[in-house]
Protein backbone atom coordinates (compact mmCIF):
# COMPACT_ATOMS: atom_id res chain seq x y z
CA UNK A 1 0.00 0.00 0.00
CA UNK A 2 1.32 3.44 -0.93
CA UNK A 3 2.19 5.71 1.98
CA UNK A 4 1.07 9.32 2.22
CA UNK A 5 4.53 10.52 1.17
CA UNK A 6 4.51 8.22 -1.86
CA UNK A 7 1.09 9.45 -2.90
CA UNK A 8 2.29 13.04 -2.46
CA UNK A 9 5.20 12.34 -4.83
CA UNK A 10 2.89 10.62 -7.30
CA UNK A 11 0.39 13.52 -7.32
CA UNK A 12 3.10 16.17 -7.66
CA UNK A 13 4.62 14.15 -10.52
CA UNK A 14 1.18 14.14 -12.17
CA UNK A 15 1.00 17.94 -12.05
CA UNK A 16 4.46 18.07 -13.65
CA UNK A 17 3.36 15.74 -16.46
CA UNK A 18 5.75 12.97 -15.42
CA UNK A 19 3.32 10.03 -14.96
CA UNK A 20 2.73 7.25 -17.46
CA UNK A 21 -0.81 6.40 -18.59
CA UNK A 22 -0.82 3.41 -16.24
CA UNK A 23 0.26 5.56 -13.29
CA UNK A 24 -2.40 8.17 -14.14
CA UNK A 25 -5.08 5.45 -14.24
CA UNK A 26 -3.96 4.27 -10.80
CA UNK A 27 -4.13 7.83 -9.47
CA UNK A 28 -7.67 8.38 -10.82
CA UNK A 29 -8.84 5.15 -9.16
CA UNK A 30 -7.18 6.13 -5.87
CA UNK A 31 -8.88 9.56 -5.89
CA UNK A 32 -12.29 7.94 -6.30
CA UNK A 33 -11.76 5.56 -3.37
CA UNK A 34 -12.65 8.06 -0.64
CA UNK A 35 -13.43 11.69 0.17
CA UNK A 36 -10.17 11.81 2.16
CA UNK A 37 -8.17 10.93 -0.96
CA UNK A 38 -10.06 13.55 -2.94
CA UNK A 39 -9.39 16.22 -0.29
CA UNK A 40 -5.67 15.29 -0.19
CA UNK A 41 -5.47 15.61 -3.98
CA UNK A 42 -7.04 19.10 -3.91
CA UNK A 43 -4.77 20.19 -1.08
CA UNK A 44 -1.69 19.25 -3.11
CA UNK A 45 -3.19 20.88 -6.20
CA UNK A 46 -3.42 24.15 -4.26
CA UNK A 47 0.13 23.72 -2.93
CA UNK A 48 1.43 23.14 -6.45
CA UNK A 49 -0.28 26.28 -7.74
CA UNK A 50 1.14 28.25 -4.80
CA UNK A 51 4.70 26.94 -5.25
CA UNK A 52 4.78 27.43 -9.00
CA UNK A 53 3.04 30.83 -8.85
CA UNK A 54 0.73 29.65 -11.63
CA UNK A 55 -2.64 30.86 -10.35
CA UNK A 56 -3.10 33.48 -13.13
CA UNK A 57 -1.74 31.03 -15.68
CA UNK A 58 -4.24 28.39 -14.59
CA UNK A 59 -7.11 30.78 -15.19
CA UNK A 60 -5.78 31.80 -18.64
CA UNK A 61 -5.08 28.21 -19.60
CA UNK A 62 -8.57 27.16 -18.54
CA UNK A 63 -10.10 29.81 -20.82
CA UNK A 64 -7.80 28.75 -23.66
CA UNK A 65 -8.60 25.08 -23.15
CA UNK A 66 -12.35 25.74 -23.13
CA UNK A 67 -12.11 27.84 -26.29
CA UNK A 68 -10.25 25.08 -28.11
CA UNK A 69 -12.80 22.48 -27.05
CA UNK A 70 -15.70 24.66 -28.23
CA UNK A 71 -13.92 25.34 -31.50
CA UNK A 72 -13.58 21.62 -32.14
CA UNK A 73 -17.26 21.07 -31.39
CA UNK A 74 -18.33 23.71 -33.92
CA UNK A 75 -15.70 22.92 -36.59
CA UNK A 76 -14.81 19.19 -36.38
CA UNK A 77 -12.55 19.48 -39.42
CA UNK A 78 -10.10 21.76 -37.67
CA UNK A 79 -6.90 19.69 -37.32
CA UNK A 80 -5.53 19.16 -33.82
CA UNK A 81 -2.00 20.09 -33.05
CA UNK A 82 0.16 17.10 -32.36
CA UNK A 83 2.30 18.85 -29.79
CA UNK A 84 1.59 21.30 -27.01
CA UNK A 85 3.86 22.90 -24.48
CA UNK A 86 4.46 20.72 -21.44
CA UNK A 87 3.47 23.57 -19.11
CA UNK A 88 0.08 23.94 -20.81
CA UNK A 89 -0.52 20.19 -20.61
CA UNK A 90 0.34 20.15 -16.92
CA UNK A 91 -1.95 23.06 -16.09
CA UNK A 92 -4.77 21.81 -18.33
CA UNK A 93 -4.59 18.33 -16.78
CA UNK A 94 -4.84 19.77 -13.28
CA UNK A 95 -7.83 21.89 -14.33
CA UNK A 96 -9.67 19.03 -16.00
CA UNK A 97 -9.24 16.63 -13.08
CA UNK A 98 -10.11 19.38 -10.59
CA UNK A 99 -13.31 20.21 -12.47
CA UNK A 100 -14.31 16.57 -12.83
CA UNK A 101 -13.82 15.95 -9.14
CA UNK A 102 -15.54 19.21 -8.27
CA UNK A 103 -18.54 18.56 -10.48
CA UNK A 104 -17.61 21.15 -13.12
CA UNK A 105 -17.05 18.85 -16.10
CA UNK A 106 -20.52 19.60 -17.52
CA UNK A 107 -19.58 23.19 -18.18
CA UNK A 108 -16.16 22.38 -19.60
CA UNK A 109 -17.41 20.07 -22.34
CA UNK A 110 -20.52 22.00 -23.45
CA UNK A 111 -20.98 25.31 -25.15
CA UNK A 112 -23.08 26.70 -22.29
CA UNK A 113 -21.77 29.74 -20.39
CA UNK A 114 -19.52 28.85 -17.50
CA UNK A 115 -21.34 29.18 -14.19
CA UNK A 116 -19.74 29.71 -10.83
CA UNK A 117 -18.38 26.44 -9.50
CA UNK A 118 -19.99 25.33 -6.24
CA UNK A 119 -17.75 25.68 -3.21
CA UNK A 120 -16.80 22.31 -1.72
CA UNK A 121 -15.56 21.96 1.86
CA UNK A 122 -12.67 19.59 2.58
CA UNK A 123 -12.64 18.12 6.08
CA UNK A 124 -9.82 16.61 8.13
CA UNK A 125 -10.80 14.54 11.17
CA UNK A 126 -8.54 13.34 13.96
CA UNK A 127 -9.80 10.29 15.91
CA UNK A 128 -9.56 9.77 19.65
CA UNK A 129 -6.09 8.90 20.88
CA UNK A 130 -4.31 10.78 18.10
CA UNK A 131 -3.09 14.25 17.16
CA UNK A 132 -2.27 15.57 13.70
CA UNK A 133 -0.53 18.44 11.95
CA UNK A 134 -2.05 19.99 8.82
CA UNK A 135 -0.48 22.37 6.30
CA UNK A 136 -3.12 24.56 4.67
CA UNK A 137 -2.72 25.64 1.02
CA UNK A 138 -1.61 29.17 2.04
CA UNK A 139 1.21 27.82 4.20
CA UNK A 140 -0.62 28.19 7.53
CA UNK A 141 0.15 25.40 10.01
CA UNK A 142 -2.49 23.75 12.17
CA UNK A 143 -1.94 21.29 15.02
CA UNK A 144 -5.16 19.39 15.67
CA UNK A 145 -5.93 17.77 19.01
CA UNK A 146 -7.66 14.41 19.37
CA UNK A 147 -11.29 14.01 18.26
CA UNK A 148 -11.21 17.32 16.36
CA UNK A 149 -12.20 18.23 12.83
CA UNK A 150 -11.18 21.12 10.58
CA UNK A 151 -12.77 22.10 7.25
CA UNK A 152 -11.65 24.57 4.58
CA UNK A 153 -13.32 25.58 1.27
CA UNK A 154 -12.22 24.75 -2.26
CA UNK A 155 -11.84 28.48 -3.00
CA UNK A 156 -9.52 28.94 -0.01
CA UNK A 157 -6.71 30.31 -2.20
CA UNK A 158 -9.10 32.70 -3.92
CA UNK A 159 -9.33 34.87 -0.80
CA UNK A 160 -11.77 32.77 1.23
CA UNK A 161 -9.38 31.87 4.06
CA UNK A 162 -12.17 30.74 6.34
CA UNK A 163 -11.92 27.44 8.23
CA UNK A 164 -14.40 25.68 10.49
CA UNK A 165 -13.25 24.03 13.70
CA UNK A 166 -14.95 21.48 15.92
CA UNK A 167 -12.66 20.52 18.78
CA UNK A 168 -9.25 22.02 19.57
CA UNK A 169 -6.44 23.28 17.37
CA UNK A 170 -3.35 25.46 17.54
CA UNK A 171 -2.78 27.80 14.58
CA UNK A 172 0.28 29.49 13.10
CA UNK A 173 -1.29 31.61 10.38
CA UNK A 174 0.62 32.73 7.29
CA UNK A 175 0.28 36.48 6.95
CA UNK A 176 -1.38 37.88 3.82
CA UNK A 177 -2.10 41.62 3.92
CA UNK A 178 -5.07 41.44 1.54
CA UNK A 179 -6.65 38.29 2.93
CA UNK A 180 -7.75 37.82 6.51
CA UNK A 181 -7.85 34.35 8.02
CA UNK A 182 -10.81 33.31 10.16
CA UNK A 183 -11.68 30.33 12.34
CA UNK A 184 -15.38 29.64 12.75
CA UNK A 185 -16.46 27.84 15.93
CA UNK A 186 -19.91 27.01 17.23
CA UNK A 187 -19.92 30.13 19.46
CA UNK A 188 -17.92 32.78 17.62
CA UNK A 189 -15.45 33.55 14.82
CA UNK A 190 -11.75 34.32 15.32
CA UNK A 191 -10.37 36.69 12.67
CA UNK A 192 -6.64 37.32 12.16
CA UNK A 193 -4.02 38.49 9.66
CA UNK A 194 -1.13 36.37 10.88
CA UNK A 195 -0.54 35.11 14.39
CA UNK A 196 -0.24 32.15 16.79
CA UNK A 197 -3.21 31.11 18.89
CA UNK A 198 -5.07 28.15 20.35
CA UNK A 199 -8.82 27.56 20.04
CA UNK A 200 -10.75 25.10 22.21
CA UNK A 201 -14.28 24.43 21.04
CA UNK A 202 -15.38 20.94 22.07
CA UNK A 203 -19.15 20.86 22.42
CA UNK A 204 -19.04 18.80 25.63
CA UNK A 205 -16.79 21.38 27.37
CA UNK A 206 -19.75 23.80 27.29
CA UNK A 207 -17.42 26.68 26.45
CA UNK A 208 -15.30 28.02 23.61
CA UNK A 209 -11.93 29.55 24.44
CA UNK A 210 -9.19 31.31 22.46
CA UNK A 211 -5.69 31.85 23.84
CA UNK A 212 -3.40 34.27 22.00
CA UNK A 213 0.34 33.64 22.05
CA UNK A 214 1.52 36.06 19.35
CA UNK A 215 0.04 38.80 17.15
CA UNK A 216 -3.54 39.97 17.54
CA UNK A 217 -6.98 38.54 16.85
CA UNK A 218 -10.55 39.78 16.78
CA UNK A 219 -13.38 37.72 18.26
CA UNK A 220 -16.69 38.20 16.47
CA UNK A 221 -20.13 37.10 17.67
CA UNK A 222 -23.03 38.88 16.00
CA UNK A 223 -22.46 42.60 16.50
CA UNK A 224 -19.87 42.02 19.23
CA UNK A 225 -16.22 42.59 18.23
CA UNK A 226 -13.59 41.95 20.93
CA UNK A 227 -9.84 42.45 20.49
CA UNK A 228 -7.41 39.98 22.03
CA UNK A 229 -3.73 40.70 22.74
CA UNK A 230 -0.78 38.36 23.40
CA UNK A 231 -1.00 36.70 26.81
CA UNK A 232 -4.78 36.99 26.98
CA UNK A 233 -7.56 34.43 26.75
CA UNK A 234 -11.21 34.90 25.93
CA UNK A 235 -13.80 32.37 26.98
CA UNK A 236 -17.45 32.21 25.94
CA UNK A 237 -19.59 30.33 28.45
CA UNK A 238 -23.21 30.49 29.55
CA UNK A 239 -23.96 33.29 27.09
CA UNK A 240 -21.19 35.65 28.11
CA UNK A 241 -17.53 36.45 27.40
CA UNK A 242 -14.87 36.17 30.10
CA UNK A 243 -11.42 37.72 29.58
CA UNK A 244 -8.45 36.09 31.34
CA UNK A 245 -4.68 35.75 31.42
CA UNK A 246 -2.77 33.04 29.58
CA UNK A 247 -1.95 30.04 31.76
CA UNK A 248 -0.38 26.65 31.23
CA UNK A 249 -3.76 25.13 30.54
CA UNK A 250 -4.35 27.28 27.48
CA UNK A 251 -0.83 27.62 26.06
CA UNK A 252 -1.17 24.76 23.55
CA UNK A 253 1.54 22.64 25.17
CA UNK A 254 -0.60 19.64 24.26
CA UNK A 255 0.80 19.81 20.72
CA UNK A 256 4.22 19.00 22.20
CA UNK A 257 2.74 16.11 24.25
CA UNK A 258 2.88 18.06 27.50
CA UNK A 259 -0.40 18.62 29.35
CA UNK A 260 -0.30 21.53 31.76
CA UNK A 261 -3.53 22.48 33.48
CA UNK A 262 -4.54 25.11 35.97
CA UNK A 263 -7.87 24.80 37.77
CA UNK A 264 -9.90 22.86 35.23
CA UNK A 265 -13.07 20.97 36.26
CA UNK A 266 -12.61 17.26 36.95
CA UNK A 267 -15.31 16.51 34.39
CA UNK A 268 -13.26 18.23 31.66
CA UNK A 269 -10.13 16.41 32.79
CA UNK A 270 -11.89 13.06 32.31
CA UNK A 271 -13.12 14.06 28.84
CA UNK A 272 -9.59 15.03 27.83
CA UNK A 273 -8.17 11.73 29.08
CA UNK A 274 -10.77 9.83 27.07
CA UNK A 275 -9.76 11.70 23.92
CA UNK A 276 -6.01 11.50 24.39
CA UNK A 277 -5.86 7.82 25.28
CA UNK A 278 -8.90 6.56 23.34
CA UNK A 279 -10.54 5.08 26.43
CA UNK A 280 -13.91 5.26 28.14
CA UNK A 281 -14.02 6.44 31.76
CA UNK A 282 -17.14 6.21 33.89
CA UNK A 283 -17.29 8.51 36.91
CA UNK A 284 -19.40 6.69 39.47
CA UNK A 285 -19.38 9.41 42.11
CA UNK A 286 -21.08 12.60 40.93
CA UNK A 287 -19.54 14.71 43.65
CA UNK A 288 -16.10 14.16 42.08
CA UNK A 289 -17.10 16.63 39.38
CA UNK A 290 -16.78 19.38 41.98
CA UNK A 291 -13.00 18.80 42.07
CA UNK A 292 -10.82 21.41 40.32
CA UNK A 293 -7.55 20.02 38.96
CA UNK A 294 -4.12 21.61 38.44
CA UNK A 295 -1.11 19.63 37.30
CA UNK A 296 1.38 18.65 34.60
CA UNK A 297 2.01 15.31 32.93
CA UNK A 298 3.37 13.94 29.68
CA UNK A 299 1.35 12.19 27.03
CA UNK A 300 4.11 9.55 26.91
CA UNK A 301 2.81 8.16 30.20
CA UNK A 302 0.18 5.42 30.02
CA UNK A 303 -3.39 5.96 31.16
CA UNK A 304 -2.75 3.63 34.09
CA UNK A 305 0.25 5.71 35.18
CA UNK A 306 -1.82 8.89 35.00
CA UNK A 307 -4.66 7.36 37.04
CA UNK A 308 -2.13 6.07 39.59
CA UNK A 309 -0.90 9.65 40.06
CA UNK A 310 -4.47 10.89 40.44
CA UNK A 311 -5.08 8.33 43.18
CA UNK A 312 -2.17 9.82 45.13
CA UNK A 313 -3.22 13.45 44.69
CA UNK A 314 -7.02 13.25 44.74
CA UNK A 315 -9.61 11.38 46.82
CA UNK A 316 -10.30 8.84 44.08
CA UNK A 317 -9.69 5.21 43.18
CA UNK A 318 -10.05 3.55 39.80
CA UNK A 319 -10.86 0.13 38.42
CA UNK A 320 -9.95 -1.27 35.03
CA UNK A 321 -13.18 -2.74 33.72
CA UNK A 322 -11.94 -3.76 30.28
CA UNK A 323 -9.05 -3.18 27.87
CA UNK A 324 -10.12 0.41 27.17
CA UNK A 325 -12.69 0.96 29.86
CA UNK A 326 -12.13 2.34 33.37
CA UNK A 327 -14.29 3.49 36.24
CA UNK A 328 -13.49 6.14 38.84
CA UNK A 329 -15.10 6.44 42.22
CA UNK A 330 -14.51 8.36 45.44
CA UNK A 331 -11.91 6.71 47.60
CA UNK A 332 -13.34 5.07 50.69
CA UNK A 333 -12.10 6.62 53.89
Neighbours of 134 (CB within 10 A): 16
Q: How confident is the model at residue 146 (pLDDT cuts 50, 70, 90)?
A: very high
Handedness of CA 106, 110, 113, 114 (dihedral sign): positive
Residue 216 burial (CB < 10 Å; 0-12/13-18/19+)? Answer: middle
CATH 3.40.50.2000 fits 257-330, yes or no: no
Beta strand extents in the chain (DSSP E only): 121-126, 132-135, 141-144, 148-153, 162-166, 168-172, 181-184, 189-192, 196-200, 208-214, 217-221, 224-228, 232-237, 240-245, 258-265, 280-283, 292-298, 316-322, 325-330
Phi/psi of residue 209, nearest 5 degrees: -135, 140
160 and 179 in contact (C-beta within 8 Å)? Answer: no
Span 150-162, average pLDDT? 90
> Around 7, how many Cα atoms within 13 Å sit in the side-chain half-sphere?
20
Helices 21-33 & 86-102, crossing angle to 10 degrees?
Answer: 20
Span 40-46, average pLDDT? 73
- Residue 300, pLDDT > 80, answer no
Task: Give me the count of residues in the chain.
Answer: 333
> How far apart (Å, rounded) are the C-alpha atoms in residues 25 and 32?
11
Span 228-236, average pLDDT? 92
Average pLDDT, the chain: 78
Domain span(s) for CATH 3.55.50.30 in the chain: 257-330
Domain span(s) for CATH 2.60.120.1440 in the chain: 132-249
Query: Percent of the chain having pLDDT more than 70?
Result: 75
Instruction: Of 18-22, 91-95, 197-201, 266-270, give the lowest mean pLDDT range.
Output: 91-95
> How far apart (Å, rounded) are the C-alpha atoms in residues 167 and 144?
8
pLDDT at 163: 96
CATH 3.10.129.10 fits 132-249, yes or no: no
Instruction: Of 206-220, 291-305, 319-333, give the lowest mean pLDDT range.
Output: 291-305
- Residue 222, pLDDT > 70, answer yes
Instruction: Of 57-61, 179-183, 189-193, give the lowest mean pLDDT range.
Output: 57-61
- Cα torsion through 16, 86, 76, 107, rounded to 10: 40
Q: How confident is the model at residue 42 (pLDDT cuts 50, 70, 90)?
A: confident
- Residue 96, pLDDT > 50, answer no
Rounded to whole angstroms, the maximal C-alpha distance in the chain is: 94
Instruction: Of 25-39, 63-77, 111-125, 218-232, give the lowest mean pLDDT range.
Output: 63-77
Q: Which string of DSSP letters, residue by residue, matches 76-104?
A: TTSPPPS---HHHHHHHHHHHHHHHHHT-
Q: What is the pTM of this model?
A: 0.63
Span 193-197, average pLDDT? 87
Per-residue pLDDT tens over the stretch 50-75: 554 444 444 443 344 334 334 333 33
148 and 175 in contact (C-beta within 8 Å)? Answer: no
- Residue 236, pLDDT > 90, answer yes
251 and 198 in contact (C-beta within 8 Å)? Answer: yes
Handedness of CA 274, 276, 279, 284 (dihedral sign): negative
- Residue 267, pLDDT > 80, answer yes
Amino acid sequence: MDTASQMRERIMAYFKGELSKEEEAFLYAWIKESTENKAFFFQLKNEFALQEDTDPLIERSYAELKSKLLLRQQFPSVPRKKKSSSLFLRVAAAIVVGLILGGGATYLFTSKPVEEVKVVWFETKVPRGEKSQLLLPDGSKVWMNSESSLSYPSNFMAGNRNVKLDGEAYFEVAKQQKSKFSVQTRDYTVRVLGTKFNVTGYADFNRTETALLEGSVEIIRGKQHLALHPGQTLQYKDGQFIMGELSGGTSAKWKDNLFDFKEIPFEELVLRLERWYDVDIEVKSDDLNKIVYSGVFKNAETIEEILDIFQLTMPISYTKEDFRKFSIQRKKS
